[in-house]
Structure 1
Amino acid sequence: MQRIFKDRNHKKVDVVAVEQVSQCRFEDWRMHSLNLSASNWHRLSDHAQLGEISPFKPEHWPYWFIEYFIECVRKFDYSNISHDTNYITFDDLGYSELEEKLTQDNTLLFIFLGLLVASTAAVLLFRYDVIL
């Protein structure tokens, strides 16, 4: 397991559960990345919406659901999966990549300040009868 943490390709790795493996349940032990967009989640699980587990925080899932999720991933037909890269994933704090990007660029602050200035100007214009 230490190899995974040392590998620079594996960032923000969270260990959900550790246990001794008595038998191999997977035919292929290579790591895979799975796009959990709503359409793929619907194909992957009986659950109707990804919203039930969003933001993606498996450390808060009950153990039975982790087992269920692993079983779903194991049986999943990957030929039917959408490889669309325009999807939103969640980091370990629950922020989407889009929210993270907007926050880092101070875009949200500029949007808020712009709306504040525009609404203040509108109130002043209406108050002094500049706009009827």
Structure 2
Amino acid sequence: MQAAAEAAAFGPVKIRPGDPRYDGLLRGNNFRQVGRPDEIRVVGSTDQVVRAVAEAVRAGRRVAVRSGGHCYENFTTDPAVRVLLDLSSMDEIGYDAAREVSAAHISLPDGADGSNVADSIQRAAQTQW
């Protein structure tokens, strides 16, 4: 099941300065600080994250990861960051009733934010549980 999800995953998409999408992807929810990485890599699977990090490390480029974009520090906007991995498309919340006998197992990916979680749990409660 995971292999099928990985195969159907969004991305990866490399966005560099000059791309019309670049400025819109620089910020999460922190409008006080804005970095200027060489590239923003929007990824949609664990395999894509691994490949992007390996590529950046081989090139000697500092990597930062943004998931929900809710951090108000400069972890992703530090001037030393050259590659920003954007995990926001990794937001599909899953439910696997077979994994637990007495409790539901819910997987929360890195890109999920509070509204994704609440909406998905509400839908699951109405349709699956």
Would you say same fold, with TM above 0.5?
A: no
More helix by percentage: 1
Indicate the structure (1 or 2) with the bigger Cα radius of gyration.
Answer: 1
Higher strand share goes to which structure?
Answer: 2
TM-score, structure 1 as length reference: 0.31
